[in-house]
Amino acid sequence: MAHAVISCLHANLAAVEAVLDDIDQQGIETITCLGDLVGYGPQPNEVVELVRQRAIPTCQGCWDEDIIDGLNACECSYPSQLAERRGHLAHQWTEAKMTEDNKAFLASLPTSLRRDKLLFVHGSPNSQHEYLLPDMNAFAALERVETAGAETLFCGHTHQPYVRELRGGSIRVRVQHHDSSSSEEQEMTLPMRRIVNAGSVGEPRHGNTQATYVIHDEATGDLTIREVNYDVAKTCQAIIDAGLPEVFAWRLSHGFEYAERADDASHVCER
């Protein structure tokens, strides 16, 4: 059975509707959402209500958490003061715009969802704020999946879709105990694990303006990254009409963000 995984909707209603249409057209009935329903985009209530109406199992993203708990992440959330100021503007606008009912829904979301050996999170099993970038140290990436007890980890947060398979790994260790003059040598064979990043529906940053999501066929194990066209100009106009920073429309219309990328993928938010 195939299921779809979507992430980082970011209050972009046109993109969410287009992706859900694409999923429906393929006859896929199971959808999982990895959070960040709101933030940056102009239709936070509409997107939250659509997800609620479709009863899509959803885990809480960093934006969903921040709208509820306030902006108390450590400095890891933004790579520059400029990006931080813009993010704060979007936060304040979204917080003021959202209904209490929709905020309560965001507050009710779990930080992870699990289905057998599949684990669904927003950032990483450690934190909604941690970036699992495709070039992250392979051992550290494997540790995130293995420690969480999963075989396949679905995540978002980076806005860059990818499928990463970690395989054929081993680590040799030599252990010396305090009371022994000899040492023990061991070799640990590492299991094969996968990290699947669903990219972003509402704010793609992979160099293209199309919304992205992934389809996972549980029977074959196949993973497909889908790109979906939507009315980008409509959302850009709505961003400007809402009085949100124009750069949010600019980057939607270019499909990348030159500044907002984590410098340190191994950093874990300590808030």
Partner 1 sequence: MERWALVSGLGGDLEVYEQIQRELKKSRGLERLFVLGDLIGPRHNSDALLKRLQEPERGDLQPECIYGWWEEQLLAERGYRGERTAEALRINHGNDAVEGLLTSVDSGHMTWLASLQFGFIELDCALLHGSSADVGDELKPTSSPLILLDRLTRLDVNRLFTARSAQQFRLDLNGGAIDSHIKDLNGEQNQQQAAPKRSVIGIGSGELFSLYAPGSDHIEFLKAGGKPVSRGLGFG
Give residues in contact with partner 1 (CB under 8 A): 134, 137-143, 146-147, 160-181, 187-188, 190, 206, 208, 212, 223, 225, 227, 266-268
Q: Which is nearer to partner 1, 7 or 94 (CB)?
A: 7
Closest CB to partner 1 among residues 100, 187: 187
Q: Which is nearer to partner 1, 77 or 212 (CB)?
A: 212
Q: How far is the CB of 55 from partner 1 (least distance, A)?
A: 30
Nearest Cα neighbor of 108 from 148, 71, 68, 72 is 68
* Minimum distance of partner 1 from residue 219's CB (angstroms): 19
CB closer to partner 1, 55 vs 175:
175
| Amino acid at site 112 | S
CA 41/CA 232 separation, integer angstroms: 12
Q: How far is the CB of 93 from partner 1 (least distance, A)?
A: 27
Q: Least distance (Å) from partner 1 to the CB of residue 47?
A: 24
CB of 165 to partner 1, least distance (A): 4
29: which 2 tokens? Answer: 């009935």
**85 vs 271 by CB, closer to partner 1:** 271
Measured distance CA(237)–CA(244) in Å, rounded: 10
Distance of closest approach, residue 29 Cβ to partner 1, in angstroms:
25
Find all residues with CB under 8 Å of 39, minimum gap 6, and list them.
10, 11, 63, 66, 67, 87, 90, 91, 94
DSSP state of 199: -
Q: Give the whole-angstrom CA distance, residue 42 versus residue 56.
A: 21
Give 39's strand partners.
none
Question: Which is nearer to partner 1, 4 or 37 (by Cβ)?
Answer: 4
- Give the rounded distance of the alpha carbon of 203 from its chain centre: 11
Q: Around 64, how many Cα atoms within 13 Å sit in the side-chain half-sphere? A: 31
Classified as helix, coil or strand, 215 is strand
